[in-house]
């Protein structure tokens, strides 16, 4: 599962990244996931992210401009895993 955190390295971007890592650990999806930080503004625009941080999973924009909680991320990741 490819997960991208879109942001320029602000505190919110770092917090979202940390929450994703924790959610992956709690769901056991760490081994089957690839998580990246992306700071390419052109890519942000392409994905529709005008306020960071952005969260993209498997090429789909999940959130923009907010830090999702671990619990919300666990729900999202679990639902994604069931779809694949």
Domains of the chain: 2-83 (3.40.30.10)
pLDDT of residue 19: 97
- Backbone phi, then psi, for 8, in 5-degree steps? -95, 10
Residues 6+ apart with CB under 8 A from 8: 39, 52
- Backbone phi, then psi, for 73, in 5-degree steps? -65, -40
Classify 54 as helix, strand or coil: strand
CB of 27 closer than 8 Å to CB of 81: yes
Query: pLDDT 10s digit of each residue in the chain, 84 long?
Result: 999 999 998 999 999 999 999 999 999 988 778 999 999 999 999 999 999 999 999 999 999 999 999 999 999 999 887 776
pLDDT of residue 71: 96
Strands 54-57 vs 60-64: parallel, antiparallel or unpaired? antiparallel
pLDDT of residue 30: 84
pLDDT of residue 84: 65
């Amino acid at each position: 599962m490819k997960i991208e955190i879109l942001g320029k390295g602000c505190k919110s971007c770092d917090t979202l990244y940390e929450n994703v890592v924790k959610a992956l650990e709690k769901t056991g999806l760490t081994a089957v996931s690839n998580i990246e930080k992306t700071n390419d503004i052109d890519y942000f625009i392409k994905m529709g992210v005008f306020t960071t941080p952005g969260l993209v999973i498997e090429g789909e924009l999940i959130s923009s401009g907010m830090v999702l909680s671990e619990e919300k991320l666990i729900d999202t990741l679990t639902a994604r895993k069931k779809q694949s």
